[in-house]
Amino acid sequence: MSAGPLSLALVGLLIGAILLDLVLGDPRWLPHPVVAMGRLIAALERRWNRGSPRARRLKGFLLTGCVVVSVFVVAWAMLAMLAWLHPWLGLAGELLLLASALAIKGLRDAAMAVATPLVQGDLGEARRAVSMIVGRDTAALDEAGITRATVETVAENSVDGITAPLFWALLGGAPLALAYKAVNTLDSMVGYRSERYVDFGYASAKLDDIANWIPARLTVLAMWLAAHLFQGARTRGAVAGTWRDAPSHPSPNAGWPEAMMAHLLGVQLGGTNHYGGSISERAAMGEPHEPLRVAHIGRAVGHMHGAWVVFFLMMAGLAVTWRAGA
């Protein structure tokens, strides 16, 4: 592979991957690496998630290590083979894999799929659409509840689906970006505190926390800079408010982009969520200067775009500085 960590070639490939994702997203006819990861995780979970709590936890560590290392090695070997056949094949393969690690268009489309019927007053369709992107019960949500769920998802997945893959891609190319996606997929499948996964998913959840720690905080900075410099949003007090609110979130990372999004929009996120009949109380994020309404979904998507653009410019600038000083 010719594109090394923090190289200008890798920055160029990432620009191409971003453009490819913005245009095509994730076409259903094209096999997606995350689907294969999910099948592998599901197969291993059925075989290994049994025994005593201690055995489950140990096998959970084994699952996490096997999946993440396997994804990295397979991606690296495939790109090495393509580059051996022809350098342009290696670059094309890396471009496609990098694009598959991003979800800019997918996140935007998912959010607007909720906003469109909500604007039309079709709560039933809006509830169905939001149920596709959140785990909470949506059957009784009103416009404010649907909007809150969507805005929170856009904020959190600005990290999981965009900036964190960009961060790890710049450090290790497509293999490391896909290894991160494996970590994220593991967390989304087994990283729950339910009776079934509290031990087996422990390692996956902790590794996801570690992998997102730096990207989540850099994303908050990028989101604030974009809003302050280019979007004319209310940024006064947003940093202090985020610093105050984010630690109250049960996730060590998700609270940061959610809190910043709430303060930039002038709304309050968090509150009561229902999951399969059980109630989960989330700490309030932001101040309710405005009631939650459908217009906030489009504005949240705008902040999401501003965040990843500035984040990428920051990281690309680091790569250029790194290479200039090398």
pLDDT band at 148 (very low <50, low <70, confident <90, very high): very high
pLDDT band at 159 (very low <50, low <70, confident <90, very high): very high
- The answer on pLDDT for 271 being more than 50 is yes
H/E stretch holding 45:
helix 33-48
pLDDT at 3: 63
Angle subtended by helix axes 255-265 and 295-325, to nearest 10: 120
Dig out the tokens for 166 from the structure.
């960009």
- The answer on pLDDT for 49 being more than 60 is yes
Segment 131-150 mean pLDDT = 93
pLDDT at 249: 92
pLDDT at 7: 77
pLDDT 10s digits, 5-28: 667 888 999 999 999 999 999 888
Nearest to 20 by CA among 99, 107, 102, 104: 99
pLDDT at 1: 46
Average confidence score pLDDT of the chain: 93
Dig out the tokens for 12 from the structure.
């160029």
Segment 144-156 mean pLDDT = 97
pLDDT at 50: 94
Which range is least confidently modeled, 240-249, 251-260, 266-275, 300-309? 266-275
- 149 falls within a domain: yes
- Cα-trace Rg, the chain: 20
Where is pLDDT greater, at 228 or 64? Answer: 64
- Indicate the number of domains in the chain: 1
d(CA 286, CA 94): 40
- Strand 278-285 versus strand 269-275 pairing type: antiparallel
Residue 116's alpha-carbon distances to 119, 163, 298, 323, in angstroms, are 5, 26, 10, 45
What range does the domain containing 223 cover? 8-325
- The answer on pLDDT for 51 being more than 70 is yes
pLDDT 10s digits, 202-253: 999 999 999 999 999 999 999 999 999 886 667 889 999 999 999 999 899 9
| Residues in CB range of 22: below 8 A, 6 or more apart | 104, 105
Segment 258-283 mean pLDDT = 88
d(CA 19, CA 17): 5
Segment 60-74 mean pLDDT = 98
Portion of the chain with pLDDT greater than 90, in percent = 80
pLDDT band at 322 (very low <50, low <70, confident <90, very high): confident
- The answer on pLDDT for 39 being more than 90 is yes
Ordered alpha helix ranges (H), 191-294:
202-226, 238-245, 255-265
Three-state secondary-structure class, residue 297: helix
Where is pLDDT greater, at 326 or 229? Answer: 229
Question: CB burial class (10 A; 0-12, 13-18, 19+) of residue 170?
Answer: buried
- 1 falls within a domain: no
- The answer on pLDDT for 178 being more than 70 is yes
Which range is least confidently modeled, 195-209, 226-240, 258-272, 291-305? 226-240
- 3 falls within a domain: no
- 39 falls within a domain: yes
- 2 falls within a domain: no
- 28 falls within a domain: yes
Portion of the chain with pLDDT greater than 70, in percent = 96
